[in-house]
Amino acid sequence: MPPFIEFTGRNVEQAVTSACSALKIPKEKLQYDILSFGASGIFGLVGVKKARIRVIVPDESETAAAENTSTQKEDIPSRITGDADIQFIAESPEVSSCVSNESQTDLLDDFAERGKLVLDKLVNFLAPGADISVNTVDNQILYTVKGGNPALLIGKKGQTLEAVQYLLKKIVNKSQENKIRVLVDIEGYISKRSEALQKQALQLAEKACRNGKTVVSGKLSPQDRKIIHMALKDDDRVKTQSRGAGYLRNIIIQPQKSTLL
């Protein structure tokens, strides 16, 4: 199994640059796994974490090490120059076989912790005394907030909660290609809001069919609009469509012609 070297930096790009400089190989030929994207913390002071990458030692170093296994650990660092922050790892078959899954889990946990640090600051600024728990599953992070002042944290029609959730989503998914879904639930608000919107959707559909006229909802966030669309997607009597521009939009509920006959 090839040996590995770990490099760290303020971010992945810096860690990669350090690895290329230390090993004297171009970036396009560098083979590495991302162990952690790092975190800048709150205002660069709290919760700062370095990014970490695991670099496969180039073939020539591996060959040289194989010729003298007793000095393998000394041979590899001898090619490294500069003050790069590194750590030698002799990879075993057991570790190699599970690096991918463990790395993905570690990354999701890192992202979740990054978001929790920010959420903790926001929540305690707005409503001190709240408790925050985190649950990660697949590619989703759910933050559950209990205590404090739920009404203040949720805001009118959930606007404060929407803003907090949007901010966390941006922070967690910074420099991420595969976006992670981020949800914030305050005292069960998500399920209560979903139930209320589903009920509203049915009422608007009934009104549209009864009067034979298009009904327009109030301004809704993307998440709320999705709930209404999904609630009526199997209702053959009406069709729904979003209208407007920007973050908040209306939903148009139109009766189908067949229901007017």
- What average pLDDT does this structure show over 237-252? 90
179 and 219 part of one domain: no
16 and 45 part of one domain: yes
Task: Give domain status of residue 69, yes or no.
Answer: yes
CATH of the domain at 242: 3.30.1370.50
Mention every residue, 6+ apart, whose C-beta is less than 8 A from residue 192: none
56 and 36 part of one domain: yes
CA atoms within 13 A on the CB side of 62: 13
Dist CA 132 CA 19 (whole Å): 37
* The last residue of a domain, from among 169, 187, 205: 187
- Give just the sign of the alpha carbon dihedral 75, 80, 85, 89: negative
pLDDT confidence band for 93 (50 / 70 / 90): very low
**For residue 139, is pLDDT > 50?**
yes
* The last residue of a domain, from among 42, 57, 91: 91
Cβ-count burial of 223 within 10 angstroms (0-12 exposed, 13-18 middle, 19+ buried)? middle
pLDDT confidence band for 69 (50 / 70 / 90): very low
Dist CA 121 CA 145 (whole Å): 13
- Provide the edge-to-edge strand list for the sheet that holds 51-56: 32-36, 51-56, 4-9, 86-89
Residue 218 DSSP symbol: -
Task: Give domain status of residue 120, yes or no.
Answer: yes
pLDDT tens, position by position, 20-59: 888 888 888 888 888 887 765 544 444 567 888 888 876 5
Task: Give domain status of residue 99, yes or no.
Answer: no
Which regions of the chain does DSSP assign to beta strands (E)?
A: 4-9, 32-36, 51-56, 86-89, 130-137, 140-147, 181-186, 215-216, 238-243, 250-255
22 and 77 part of one domain: yes
* Centroid of chain to Cα 45: 22
Give the total number of structural domains in the chain: 3
Residue 119, number of CB atoms within 10 A of its CB: 22
Instruction: State what percent of residues in the chain have pLDDT above 70.
Output: 74
Task: Give domain status of residue 40, yes or no.
Answer: yes
pLDDT tens, position by position, 192-205: 999 999 999 999 99
Q: Which range has the top average pLDDT, 49-53, 63-67, 111-115, 216-220?
A: 216-220
DSSP symbols for 142-201: EEEEEES-HHHHH-GGGHHHHHHHHHHHHHHTTT-SSPPEEEEEETTHHHHHHHHHHHHH
pLDDT for the residue 89: 43
158 and 229 part of one domain: no
Dist CA 235 CA 204 (whole Å): 12
pLDDT for the residue 203: 95
pLDDT tens, position by position, 192-243: 999 999 999 999 999 999 999 999 999 888 889 999 999 999 999 999 999 9
pLDDT for the residue 175: 64
Look up residue 151 and give its two tokens. Answer: 């009404």
CATH of the domain at 128: 3.30.300.20
Task: Give domain status of residue 96, yes or no.
Answer: no
pLDDT for the residue 101: 52
Query: Which is more confidently placed, 116 or 72?
Result: 116
Q: Which domain holds residue 112?
A: 105-187
Dist CA 244 CA 250 (whole Å): 6
**For residue 71, is pLDDT > 60?**
no
213 and 237 part of one domain: yes
Query: Over the chain, what is the mean pLDDT?
Result: 77
13 and 82 part of one domain: yes
pLDDT for the residue 102: 53
